[in-house]
Chains A and B, each alone.
Chain A
Amino acid sequence: MAKTYDYLFKLLLIGDSGVGKTSILFRFSEDAFNISFISTIGIDFKIRTIDLDGKKVKLQIWDTAGQERFRTITTAYYRGSMGIMLVYDVTNEKSFENIKNWIRNIEENASADVEKMILGNKCDLDSKRQVSKERGEQLAIEYQIKFVETSAKDSLNVEYAFYTLARDIKAKMEKKQEASNPPGGRSGAHQLKANEPQRKPTSWLSRCSVL
C-alpha cells in the first residue's frame, strides 16, 4: 500500500476533566465546535494529516478521560507518544494547579524526551477567567515548555499549537537522524520511530536512580 505520509506522530491530550481536550481535538480535526460535547469515557483518537515544510505529517491524536480515577487505564496509552498537549482551563484555577501533577504523570509514564506544550484553553471566556496569561507563561518558563492560550470555540491558536508541537517533534527527529546517520542519509522516520521506545527505559531509569 502506498504511504500517504512522510511522518507519523503520535500526540496525546491530557489535563483535568472538562478543560476542553475533546473540543480542541474536534476543532483541529474537524474544524468545528459543539457546545454540547459529551464527556470522554476511556480513550479515543483522531487523525489529521498536515503539511509541514513540504512533508506530509500524519498526526494521530489521542484524547483521554480526564478524571484522576481513570488514570491507571489512560496512562496505558501514553506509550509511544511523541508529543503531549497539557491542557488547562483558564476559568478553572484547579485545572491550572494540576498541570504540575500532569507533568509528573508524564515523567512517570511517557518517554523522557517527549515534546510538551501547555495550552490554556477557553481564553474566550474572559469574564470568567481565573488564571492570567502571565501565570501560564510563568509556569511554562519554569518547566521550559512552550505555552499558548487557546480557544477551541473561537478557533484561536489551536492550529498554531498543533503545528508548533509537530514542527518541534520533526526538528528533534531530524536532528537525531543527522547525528546517527552520516550526511546524505535517507528519510528515516520509521527507523527513528522504532528507536523511540528503546530510549525510554534508559532515560527514565537513570532519572530514578538519581532519586
Chain B
Amino acid sequence: MSTSSVDEIPDQSKDLFTQDGVLLKNCVGRPVTDLNSIGMLCIVQNADGTKCVEWRPNDLITIDSDTQDQEWAVVNTVGRRQRTLSGNMTSDYATLRARIIKIPLEELKTFKVTRNNQQMQFSTKQGVWQTTFYFQHGNAEIFVAYLKNHVKTAKTRHDRNTYVVVEPNVESQVLNRSFAELDIFTENTTDVVWNLVSNFKQRPYETTLEAFSKLTDIVYYGNEGLNGKRDVSEEVADLLTKSMSAMEDATTITKNEEYEVVSVKPTLPPRPCIPRGTPLSTEKWDALQDKDGRITEVEGVKQLIFRGGVAHSIRQSVWKHLLDYYPWQMSHSEIRAHQKKKTEEYFSMKLQWRSMTEGQESRFSEYRDRKSLVEKDVNRTDRTHPFYAGDNNPNLVVLQDILMTYVMYNFDLGYVQGMSDILAPLLLLLGNEVDSFWCFVGFMEKIASNFDMDQAGMKHQLLQLQQLLMFASPDLAQHLAQKDSGNMYFCFRWLLVWFKREFSHIDIMRLWEVLWTGLPCANFHLLICVAILDAEKDVLISKDYGFTEILKHVNDLSMSLDVDRILSTAEGIYHQIVSAPHLNDQIRIILGMEPLNMANSAHSGNSDRQEAGTSRTQTNGNETRTNGNEHTGPFGQDIDEVMYQIGLDMNF
C-alpha cells in the first residue's frame, strides 16, 4: 500500500475531523445505488478557508494502517489526515469523487441527532432534511461536539436533539438585518427580538403590522413560552427549528430516494381576543342618514354592523339595505318609487304561476316537480316557531307563495332544499311578502352557488374550508384527513344554509347580518366554520374521533353554540391568518386578497402588501360579495383555474 503525499491531492483542503463507519442513508438527488454505502464523515477546511462537512465513500479512501482500528480521530490539531489512494488517479477516481457529498458550513442551516446517537441529518434548505447519515458506532454526538467548534449553534427547547446554526448562517444574518432595519430597535438585538416577540402577546396586530409587515423575509415565530428572557440565538433557533420540525412532520419519504416536503405548517401568530361591539342603535342609524334618508358612509355602517350587529328595532330597514333591496344612496322618496316598482314586478311574477291552470300544470312536469318540492318543505320549515306553528297557518301560505314566485324568478335554479330555511327568518322579521321576496333574492345572490345542480359551489367551498383549516389549525386538518373526513362533508349543512340549523332564531339574525356586511374579508363564513371547529379541536383529536363520530359530534353542536364567542374567535383567526408571515396566495385568494404574485406583475407593489388585512382587503372582499359571484372577481379566471386544479388533486 503506497502512501501518497498530501501535496498530490488536487485540492488543498484539510480534514479537520473525520469519523469512520458512517453510512449514507439518504441524500436528495442521489441515486439509490449511492445509498447505504459506508464511508467517512469529515469536517474539512477548504483552500479558501471556508469549511464544509464532507462524506466520502470508503472505496475512495483507505485508512492509514496505524489508525485503521480507530473509530475516529481528532485531526484538527495534528493537521491533515493522510489519504491513501489505492491505484492511480484515473477516471474511476473521478467517478468516485463525484460521490463525495459536501455540505458547506456557510449553507448549513440546521442539523439533528436522532435514534440514540446513531443518526444525523443535515439541512441547508428550509423544510428539507437533505442528507441523513447512519453512525455505525452510535457516536454521532462526538461529531456534533467537533462540528460545534466550527459553527455557532443553538439548541432549542422544543427538540433537544436539533441544532440550528445561528452563524455563519446566511438566513439568520438576513433575519438580524431585517430586525435591525425596523427602526424600533435601539437596544441590542437580544432585547429587541425579545421585545418584538413579547409585544405580540400584548398588542398582536399593531406589532405585526408595524414590524412584520416590513419584513420581506419569511420569519417563523412561536406563539408560546414568551414569559422570561431568553438568549436571542435560542429564540431564533426555536423559531427556525419549529418551522423545521413542523415541516418534518409533514414530510414523507418516497420509497427509494429523497425526502419530499408535502406541506408546511408553521405556527400562526397568537390569536388576538377581539371583543364584540354593541348593536347599531336607532340613534346611530338615524344619524347616519342625511335629511333625505341617504346613507353615504356605507363602509362605516357596515363596519358598525360587522362589529356589533343591528338593534332589533331597526333590523327591518337595515336588512333591506344589507340585502341589496334598497340601494344605500337612495332618498326616502326614491325608495318609495323603487318599492312601488319592485312590488309590481313581484306581483307580475306571482301571477305567472297563480294563473297556471290544472291542465297546463299537468303538461309541465318541471314546474310540477318544483311545486311539489316547495310544498313538502314549507310544511316542515320552522314549524316549532310560533310564527309558523299550527295547522292552516297563514304564514305558511306566504312562505310558499314567495318560494313559488322565486321559482318563476329563477326557474333554472328552481327550488332546492334549504331555500325555505333561508327565507323563513326573513319573512319572520319583515312580515311583508314583497319585502321578504326581494330580500330573499338578495340573500340568494350571495349564496346562489350553494344550490348549483352539480354542487360545484358547495364542493368548492368545502375545499376552501379545508385549505383554511390546514392553514389555521393544521393539527385538526390532519386529524380529519386521517379519519377520512378531509372532504369536510360534515360541514355541508353549516355552509348550505349559513348555519341556520345550528343557531336559534335570535342568534341566526345576528350571525347573518354580520356576514352580509362582507367584512372583514371574503368568505368570512368559512372562518366561522374554522372557529367552531377550532373550539372542538381538543375533543375531536383527544377522543380520536373517527369518521362517524366526527359527523355526529358536529351535527350535535346544533343549538349549543355561542354566536358572539364564535364571531369573536373567527375574527381573531382572521387576524392571525393575515398577519402570518407565511400567508400564501392560496389563502389570500380565498379571503379575497390580492395574490402577491399578481400584485408584483401588475400595478401594485410593496405598499399594497403592507396594507394586507386592512382596508384594501376589505374592499376586495366586499366587491367580491356584492357582485354576488365569488368566481368572477378581479382575478376570476385564475381562481377558477387554480381551484379546479386543486379540486382535481383532491379527487373532487
Interface residues of A (CB under 8 A from B): 17-18, 36-39, 41-45, 60, 65-67, 69-70, 72-73, 76-77, 92, 94
Closest to B555 in A: A44
**Assembled-state Cα–Cα distance A184/B66 (Å):** 70
**Assembled-state Cα–Cα distance A73/B493 (Å):** 11
- A67 contacts B551, C-beta separation under 8 Å: no
Residue B135, interface by CB 8 Å: no
The minimal Cβ–Cβ distance linking A30 to chain B, given in whole angstroms, is: 15
- B455 contacts A72, C-beta separation under 8 Å: yes
Residue B13, interface by CB 8 Å: no
The minimal Cβ–Cβ distance linking A10 to chain B, given in whole angstroms, is: 9
- B380 contacts A39, C-beta separation under 8 Å: yes
A69 to chain B: which residues have CB within 8 Å?
416-417, 451-453, 455
Interface size on B, residues (CB 8 A): 36
- B417 contacts A70, C-beta separation under 8 Å: yes
- A65 contacts B383, C-beta separation under 8 Å: no
Nearest 10 pairs of A and B residues by beta carbon: A36-B383, A18-B376, A42-B492, A42-B493, A41-B493, A67-B417, A37-B380, A72-B455, A38-B380, A39-B417
Of A17, A36, A77, which contacts B384 at CB under 8 A? Answer: A36
A17 to chain B: which residues have CB within 8 Å?
373, 376-377, 417
- A45 contacts B417, C-beta separation under 8 Å: no
- A41 contacts B373, C-beta separation under 8 Å: no
Residue B537, interface by CB 8 Å: no
Beyond A67-B373, A70-B417, 8 extra complex contacts between A and B, CB < 8 Å: A38-B501, A41-B492, A41-B501, A69-B416, A69-B453, A72-B459, A77-B489, A94-B369
**Assembled-state Cα–Cα distance A43/B555 (Å):** 9
Closest to A65 in B: B417
**Assembled-state Cα–Cα distance A73/B453 (Å):** 12
**Assembled-state Cα–Cα distance A38/B454 (Å):** 24
The minimal Cβ–Cβ distance linking B458 to chain A, given in whole angstroms, is: 7
**Assembled-state Cα–Cα distance A161/B412 (Å):** 39
The minimal Cβ–Cβ distance linking A34 to chain B, given in whole angstroms, is: 9
**Assembled-state Cα–Cα distance A130/B298 (Å):** 56
Binary interface profile of B, 444-463, with partner A (CB < 8 Å = 1, else 0)? 00000001111100110000
A42 to chain B: which residues have CB within 8 Å?
489-490, 492-493, 496
Closest to B495 in A: A42
The minimal Cβ–Cβ distance linking B405 to chain A, given in whole angstroms, is: 20
Residue B418, interface by CB 8 Å: yes
**Assembled-state Cα–Cα distance A180/B377 (Å):** 49
**Assembled-state Cα–Cα distance A29/B459 (Å):** 31
A67 to chain B: which residues have CB within 8 Å?
373, 416-417
**Assembled-state Cα–Cα distance A67/B489 (Å):** 16
Interface residues of B (CB under 8 A from A): 369, 372-373, 376-377, 379-384, 389, 416-418, 420-421, 451-455, 458-459, 487, 489-490, 492-493, 496-497, 501, 548, 551-552, 555
B380 to chain A: which residues have CB within 8 Å?
18, 36-39
Of A18, A36, A41, A76, which contacts B496 at CB under 8 A? Answer: A41
B416 to chain A: which residues have CB within 8 Å?
67, 69
A70 to chain B: which residues have CB within 8 Å?
417, 455
**Assembled-state Cα–Cα distance A45/B551 (Å):** 9
Of A37, A41, A76, which contacts B417 at CB under 8 A? Answer: A41
**Assembled-state Cα–Cα distance A67/B454 (Å):** 12
Of B373, B379, B455, which contacts A73 at CB under 8 A? Answer: B455
A38 to chain B: which residues have CB within 8 Å?
380-383, 501
28 contacting pairs across A/B (C-beta < 8 A): A17-B377, A18-B373, A18-B377, A36-B379, A36-B380, A37-B380, A38-B383, A39-B381, A39-B417, A41-B418, A41-B421, A41-B496, A42-B493, A43-B492, A45-B551, A45-B552, A66-B417, A67-B373, A67-B416, A67-B417, A69-B451, A69-B452, A69-B453, A69-B455, A72-B454, A72-B459, A73-B458, A77-B489
**Assembled-state Cα–Cα distance A51/B389 (Å):** 39
The minimal Cβ–Cβ distance linking B487 to chain A, given in whole angstroms, is: 7
A72 to chain B: which residues have CB within 8 Å?
454-455, 459
**Assembled-state Cα–Cα distance A44/B383 (Å):** 20
Closest to A10 in B: B548
A65 to chain B: which residues have CB within 8 Å?
417
A41 to chain B: which residues have CB within 8 Å?
417-418, 421, 492-493, 496-497, 501
The minimal Cβ–Cβ distance linking B51 to chain A, given in whole angstroms, is: 56
The minimal Cβ–Cβ distance linking B263 to chain A, given in whole angstroms, is: 23
- A76 contacts B487, C-beta separation under 8 Å: yes
The minimal Cβ–Cβ distance linking A211 to chain B, given in whole angstroms, is: 24
A39 to chain B: which residues have CB within 8 Å?
376-377, 380-381, 417, 420
**Assembled-state Cα–Cα distance A69/B370 (Å):** 13
**Assembled-state Cα–Cα distance A66/B416 (Å):** 11
Closest to B492 in A: A42
Closest to B501 in A: A41
A76 to chain B: which residues have CB within 8 Å?
487, 489
**Assembled-state Cα–Cα distance A127/B225 (Å):** 72
The minimal Cβ–Cβ distance linking A70 to chain B, given in whole angstroms, is: 7
- B417 contacts A43, C-beta separation under 8 Å: no
The minimal Cβ–Cβ distance linking B417 to chain A, given in whole angstroms, is: 5
Closest to A37 in B: B380
B492 to chain A: which residues have CB within 8 Å?
41-43, 73
The minimal Cβ–Cβ distance linking A64 to chain B, given in whole angstroms, is: 11
**Assembled-state Cα–Cα distance A192/B515 (Å):** 48
B489 to chain A: which residues have CB within 8 Å?
42-43, 73, 76-77
Q: With A67-B416, A70-B417 as given contacts, are A44 and B376 in contact (CB-CB < 8 Å)?
A: no
**Assembled-state Cα–Cα distance A41/B450 (Å):** 12
**Assembled-state Cα–Cα distance A69/B373 (Å):** 12
A94 to chain B: which residues have CB within 8 Å?
369, 372
Closest to A18 in B: B376
B490 to chain A: which residues have CB within 8 Å?
42
Closest to A22 in B: B380
**Assembled-state Cα–Cα distance A153/B489 (Å):** 31
**Assembled-state Cα–Cα distance A70/B420 (Å):** 16
B454 to chain A: which residues have CB within 8 Å?
72
The minimal Cβ–Cβ distance linking A210 to chain B, given in whole angstroms, is: 26
Closest to B390 in A: A36
Closest to A44 in B: B555
**Assembled-state Cα–Cα distance A77/B485 (Å):** 11
A60 to chain B: which residues have CB within 8 Å?
548
The minimal Cβ–Cβ distance linking B54 to chain A, given in whole angstroms, is: 51
The minimal Cβ–Cβ distance linking A84 to chain B, given in whole angstroms, is: 17
**Assembled-state Cα–Cα distance A36/B376 (Å):** 11
The minimal Cβ–Cβ distance linking A19 to chain B, given in whole angstroms, is: 9
B384 to chain A: which residues have CB within 8 Å?
36
**Assembled-state Cα–Cα distance A38/B380 (Å):** 5
B373 to chain A: which residues have CB within 8 Å?
17-18, 67
The minimal Cβ–Cβ distance linking B363 to chain A, given in whole angstroms, is: 15
The minimal Cβ–Cβ distance linking A204 to chain B, given in whole angstroms, is: 18
B379 to chain A: which residues have CB within 8 Å?
36
The minimal Cβ–Cβ distance linking B326 to chain A, given in whole angstroms, is: 30
Closest to A41 in B: B493
Interface centre among B372, B376, B382, B496 (most CB of A within 10 A): B376
B551 to chain A: which residues have CB within 8 Å?
43-45
The minimal Cβ–Cβ distance linking A164 to chain B, given in whole angstroms, is: 24
The minimal Cβ–Cβ distance linking B477 to chain A, given in whole angstroms, is: 18
Closest to A71 in B: B455
B548 to chain A: which residues have CB within 8 Å?
45, 60
Closest to B453 in A: A69
**Assembled-state Cα–Cα distance A42/B494 (Å):** 9
The minimal Cβ–Cβ distance linking B5 to chain A, given in whole angstroms, is: 68
**Assembled-state Cα–Cα distance A65/B376 (Å):** 13
**Assembled-state Cα–Cα distance A163/B386 (Å):** 38
Closest to B454 in A: A72
Closest to B484 in A: A79
Closest to B414 in A: A69
Closest to B456 in A: A72
